[in-house]
Structure 1
Amino acid sequence: MIKRYQGSRLRSGRYSEAGRIYHVTTVTNARYPFFSDCDLASLVCRTILWSDRSGATSTLCYVLMPDHLHWLFQLGDGESLSRAMLRVKGRSGRLCGSAVWQKGYHDHAVRKEESIRDVARYIVANPLRAGLVSSLRDYPYWNAAWL
């Protein structure tokens, strides 16, 4: 018996709320380290800025790892989470010249009782935990609103 992917069940409970803060993680196709290439990584970072300038998102922080992205942002007015992610992944994929992203993403709506700064610290510390750098100042593909 072949087991079907249960992703639609996971998505059925998803609720998108304008103005809400989300922590989203999305990975590259086959976890290939596309973003070890500084040109491709820069394109994704610029796409996040583009999303903010369009009003779809307001980034609190992000870190782009070689094979995935962690992004903490507030969703813009009139924007849905799925639409914002479709725009960012679609545009960055086109700019990179390939289908760099896997379908889907993991999202977490930050609850009122959670510390946004603690979530942000967790996100930007990813290159340290992965052993890519010994100091965050040595990792180029991250940003935080508190700087």
Structure 2
Amino acid sequence: MTDIRRYPPINHPVFITAVCHRRNPVLANDADKELLLTVMREVKKEMPFRVLAYVILDDHFHWLIRMDEGHAFSRILQSVKLRFTHRWKRARNITMPTTLWQRRFWDHIIRDTEDLNLHMDYIHFNPVKHEIVTDPVDYPWSSFHVHQSKDRYPKDWGRKLVPGNIKSMILE
């Protein structure tokens, strides 16, 4: 077992990728994506953090969050994954042990504005990258609409073509 050290990202956002166990499409239907969002909101009330960007796909999700001091993003993610798993199992009357998530997750502490923009673009382009849609605006399970309404993205951003700044990024 590896000894992973996570350092508290004081005053820095964190990019997180959480993947479903064996890439199973646990989040394939809209109700399960909505359940994940509901759980995220509940955990946010208990362990305050700010969601800067997100996308939920069928077998993983990406988050860009900033924690309040005293809260560790690993504990926040653990709470989300555990609570989601319990609710998901309850909705299906599953009582036996079930693994929905990979044990580990990918995290990256955002270092500056350029890094923040790069990871935000990666998140919002993800549904196009995975060929779910050809335009990020057509995907309802991301924060793209919020950012576009604030003029962070031009109207045709990410339509079919990979934005140049994220072409070489592989974060899942």
In the alignment, the residues of structure 1 paired with residue 59 and residue 109 of structure 2 have an alpha-carbon distance, to the nearest angstrom, of 23
In the alignment, the residues of structure 1 paired with residue 45 and residue 10 of structure 2 have an alpha-carbon distance, to the nearest angstrom, of 16
In the alignment, the residues of structure 2 paired with residue 55 and residue 114 of structure 1 have an alpha-carbon distance, to the nearest angstrom, of 27
In the alignment, the residues of structure 1 paired with residue 84 and residue 106 of structure 2 have an alpha-carbon distance, to the nearest angstrom, of 18
Gaps of 5+ in 2: 90-97, 150-172
Percent identity for Structure 1 against Structure 2: 25
In the alignment, the residues of structure 2 paired with residue 56 and residue 18 of structure 1 have an alpha-carbon distance, to the nearest angstrom, of 14
In the alignment, the residues of structure 1 paired with residue 142 and residue 86 of structure 2 have an alpha-carbon distance, to the nearest angstrom, of 21
Q: Kindly state the Cα deviation for residue 37 of structure 1 after the two structures are TM-superposed.
A: 1.4
Pair 133,113 (structure 1): closer, same or farther in 2 beyond 3 Å: closer
Residue deviations 1:62-103 (CA, integer Å, cap 9, x gap): 001110111000012210122111111111111211532111
Q: Name 1:129's counterpart in structure 2.
A: 129
- Conserved? CA contact 1:65–1:127, under 8 Å: yes
- Conserved? CA contact 1:18–1:78, under 8 Å: no
- Conserved? CA contact 1:45–1:141, under 8 Å: no
User: Which one of 26, 46, 58 corresponds to residue 18 of structure 2?
Assistant: 26
Report the TM-score when normalising by structure 2. 0.72
User: Which one of 53, 57, 75 corresponds to residue 49 of structure 2?
Assistant: 57
Which one is further off, 51-60 or 41-50? 51-60
Q: Name 1:102's counterpart in structure 2.
A: 102
3-state SS of the aligned residue for 2:27?
A: helix
More strand by share: 1
User: Which one of 85, 88, 101 corresponds to residue 77 of structure 2?
Assistant: 85
Q: Name 1:17's counterpart in structure 2.
A: 9
In the alignment, the residues of structure 2 paired with residue 73 and residue 21 of structure 1 have an alpha-carbon distance, to the nearest angstrom, of 5
Q: Kindly state the Cα deviation for residue 133 of structure 1 after the two structures are TM-superposed.
A: 0.5
In the alignment, the residues of structure 1 paired with residue 77 and residue 48 of structure 2 have an alpha-carbon distance, to the nearest angstrom, of 10
In the alignment, the residues of structure 2 paired with residue 19 and residue 100 of structure 1 have an alpha-carbon distance, to the nearest angstrom, of 31
Q: CA RMSD in A?
A: 1.9
Q: Which has the higher contact order (CA 8 A, sep 6+)?
A: 1
3-state SS of the aligned residue for 1:59?
A: strand
In the alignment, the residues of structure 2 paired with residue 21 and residue 143 of structure 1 have an alpha-carbon distance, to the nearest angstrom, of 16
Residue deviations 1:40-62 (CA, integer Å, cap 9, x gap): 11111222222333343210010
